[in-house]
Structure 1
């Protein structure tokens, strides 16, 4: 009996872990449709499959790109942005934040190292605000789901939000705020890659067996990651278009004015969806009547409130700095939505 109990525990944990995965959500959602509304099952599956296949070329390119950057050791290029005068550091950090090929856990030791080496909080804040918003895979997924104007707008907003946040922190520190911004930092590695402060990138990574292995492992890991989250996104989009009345979406976040945009930003933070799920889901919401500005505000606020992004900030700085990060993110999302609505 003891053996049965011991072997049952890992199996139970495995089932529980699987139920928390995107694959489980997809399976359970489709099962619910098959049981409750079998007539719509085929249409929903067909919608999701067609949408996924239309995005597949972008997925392939994004996976190849990020695997190549990781294999080449491009992190050391990003670290160069945090050297020199503070104003230059803020600008470079905001720009490179959208290009950083980091996994979510690697951001924490990377930024901890920067702070330990004396990088100013203003430049780090610029990096923190821009990094969750855009990266090469997110840009391509946004293009596939929402088109180039939306993707370019989000990239520009990422840099602008990083710049405004960085200079806001610089001004606040000049006025005597955030004198002791950091928690006690323990240097640690998460096992996600080489130290970003050592070595130079090797762009011909295929000539070294260790880097070829890094490329292969990153290719597989990122391919599976994008596939599962985008499959979930398109199933959710199909369900949204099928079952959520367009009048309800239009009533909440449709139309002109600041109110729908502010509502979308405030809803976007607690209803966080990662940057790979959000664009397809927003495409469905926009078909139902969501305005362009509200969609942008929702996506910006949701990215800033992501668990990895907030964990990186919370783990390294004190509460006033964390509150400033959230405040800059929400206000930036609302302003971005208003400007994007006017431009589009």
Structure 2
């Protein structure tokens, strides 16, 4: 038998590798190619829209990248350990602050939560961190300011902190009956790559540039964050351009506009399946608001989507017992609705 690889098989293997490593870029390119074939003027308009949007957000993008790389190089994320020491009320507030204001890598959040719960940290404090973490961090704050505005960024930060404190307090009040004494699934709890932040926290090295290894990490993190943000923002701005071109403003206004609570309820539940990630969702919400979406509905969409997006929900489901997962979802949706209503009142 011949060992020669068929050219078609080789091509499929290359495509699989490209799809695995660069699927977001490939989706953007594919959309532009299809537009160029079927609607050339729209392809040109969308490409110009994406370029202008990226240039407009470039200063905020650079701040986001710098903050993310700085947190990794200095080890500032180790400060999380200090949030879970003290009285329950203090732990809940500090847990929400840690989740809403501190940058964490995607691989570190879930293992970190597993380590906290396995070590016996009360679920109330962990839930406060858990709910606030996906909604806001310093880099997200700057991007929200650039894509939406400073007022929206401040309100979203307050929503993250408020949701964390609300959820943590609720869990503390009902947890006195011992309902959530064992929140983790069987076999979960070694902490993984995030556990050492709690079990063996390292000191923060503020002057990281004096250490060659930390300088190298800063460069690696900056590059990986740049690629991550650019690929998602490119796709999101591209979708926004098509949304503005093809979805009548009247449709958005009728479904998600107005001053009542119905648009906020709709946006809360739509955010669950429609949310891509925090960075990609910002341009989409900006486009919807430009077409008449109520500000409160936009806030509810971002908060609900951030906490209950499919990747985040799957991670919670794999980690926690079903009753904890159900509570997580219920707190997320109710908190997002409340945040939307309050922001709508503030925006009037």
Normalised to the residue count of structure 2, the TM-score between the two structures is 0.93
Equivalent in 210, 213, 218 of residue 216 of structure 2: 213
8 Å Cα contact 1:82-1:92 kept in structure 2: yes
> Which stretches in structure 2 are left out of the alignment for 5+ residues?
none
8 Å Cα contact 1:134-1:158 kept in structure 2: yes
Q: Return the alpha-carbon distance in structure 2 between the equivalents of residues 228 and 12 of structure 1.
A: 18
Q: CA deviation at 1:145?
A: 1.0
What SS does the aligned partner of 1:118 have?
Answer: coil
Match of 1:222 in 2: 225
Match of 2:160 in 1: 158
Taking the TM superposition and a 5 Å limit, the aligned residue runs for 1:201-280 are 201-280=204-283
Q: Return the alpha-carbon distance in structure 1 between the equivalents of residues 258 and 11 of structure 2.
A: 54
- 1:47-76: CA deviation from partner (whole Å, max 9, x where unpaired): 111111000111111111110111111122
What SS does the aligned partner of 2:106 have?
Answer: coil
Which has the larger helix fraction? Answer: 2
Match of 2:68 in 1: 66
Match of 2:5 in 1: 4
> Which stretches in structure 1 are left out of the alignment for 5+ residues?
none
8 Å Cα contact 2:256-2:293 kept in structure 1: yes
What SS does the aligned partner of 1:4 have?
Answer: coil
8 Å Cα contact 1:265-1:330 kept in structure 2: yes
Taking the TM superposition and a 5 Å limit, the aligned residue runs for 1:1-344 are 1-4=2-5, 10-17=13-20, 21-184=23-186, 185-187=188-190, 189-190=192-193, 195-196=197-198, 197-344=200-347
Q: Are residues 21 and 64 of structure 1, via their aligned partners in 2, closer, same or farther at CA, if it must alter by over 3 Å?
A: same
- 1:228-271: CA deviation from partner (whole Å, max 9, x where unpaired): 11111111111111111111111111111011110011111111
- 1:186-222: CA deviation from partner (whole Å, max 9, x where unpaired): 41534x8964532111111111111111111101110
Q: CA deviation at 1:307?
A: 4.0
- 1:273-292: CA deviation from partner (whole Å, max 9, x where unpaired): 21101111111111111110
8 Å Cα contact 1:104-1:308 kept in structure 2: no
8 Å Cα contact 2:111-2:195 kept in structure 1: no
Number of residue equivalences: 342
**Greater shift after overlay, 212-221 or 155-164?**
212-221
User: What RMSD over aligned residues (CA atoms) do the two structures have, in Å?
Assistant: 1.8
Normalised to the residue count of structure 1, the TM-score between the two structures is 0.94
Q: Return the alpha-carbon distance in structure 2 between the equivalents of residues 141 and 203 of structure 1.
A: 24
Q: Are residues 16 and 250 of structure 1, via their aligned partners in 2, closer, same or farther at CA, if it must alter by over 3 Å?
A: same
Q: CA deviation at 1:180?
A: 2.7
